[in-house]
Structure 1
Amino acid sequence: MRLLSKQRDHTIYYWKWRARTAGPGTSAWNTTAQDEVNGIYETGVQVARFEGDRMLNSCTDWTS
């Protein structure tokens, strides 16, 4: 899974992928973000299944 952030000009920043390989459950990561020029106006999350480095499928959801 990874965080996505959208700036005022609709530019999307794709954060690095975080792996969860232990099966179902809850994961949490501490992170901070700052963009003094455009700000973060919307956030999203992208979840995907991988086989090695190959993405098999994914889904994305946004919240404003």
Structure 2
Amino acid sequence: MRKTLLSASVGLAFFTVFTASGTAQAAGASGTITCKATGVRGELDYKNWQSNSAGSTIDLGLYAYDTLADGHHVKIRFVSEDLNGYKTYWPWRSWYGGNDTGRAWYTYASNGAHGLYAISLEVARFEGSTKLNSNLCG
């Protein structure tokens, strides 16, 4: 009898945890932000975004496309803002492949104690380390 109750308790606990985690994952928002500037086009695909949930993680797909045959390279980055209005400019991702080519990066960001209230995408065209033009979308 004890073994049966223990097995039933473990099974119920597993079912409860599994069901709760499935519900939490379904609650996160998903979507795409597109952004253009002269010579560059980008996209940010995001999944599992919970803007008011401290400590959660958002899954990111960043896509940069070079749209001009001008000898310059393109960069893209994720930008987040917490509930206090503090913006985090995440590291640039660079692409040197040339006109009509692009690159994808898959990563994640953790929002810390103050949540990810807003998310954005910045695209830019560079000559070396000099930013020639950019646009922030989102």
Q: Is the 8 A contact 2:122 2:136 kept in 1?
A: yes
Distance in 1 separating the partners of 2:128 and 2:112: 36
Indicate the residue corresponding to 1:51 in structure 2: 127
Distance in 1 separating the partners of 2:91 and 2:127: 17
Deviation at residue 26 of structure 1 after TM alignment: 4.4
TM-score by length of 1: 0.83
Indicate the residue corresponding to 1:7 in structure 2: 82
Aligned residue pairs: how many? Answer: 62
Indicate the residue corresponding to 2:105 in structure 1: 29
Q: Gaps spanning 5+ residues in structure 1: where? A: none
Deviates more, 1:22-31 or 1:6-15: 22-31
Specify which of 54, 60, 63 is matched with residue 136 of structure 2: 60
Partner-residue secondary structure (3-state), 1:19 = strand
Q: CA RMSD in A?
A: 1.4
Indicate the residue corresponding to 2:28 in structure 1: none
Distance in 2 separating the partners of 1:17 and 1:36: 20
Higher relative contact order (CA 8 A, sep 6+): 1
Distance in 2 separating the partners of 1:42 and 1:25: 29
For the pair shown, which has the larger CA radius of gyration, 1 or 2? 2
Deviation at residue 55 of structure 1 after TM alignment: 0.5
Q: Gaps spanning 5+ residues in structure 2: where? A: 1-75
Deviation at residue 25 of structure 1 after TM alignment: 4.0
Higher helix content, 1 or 2:
2
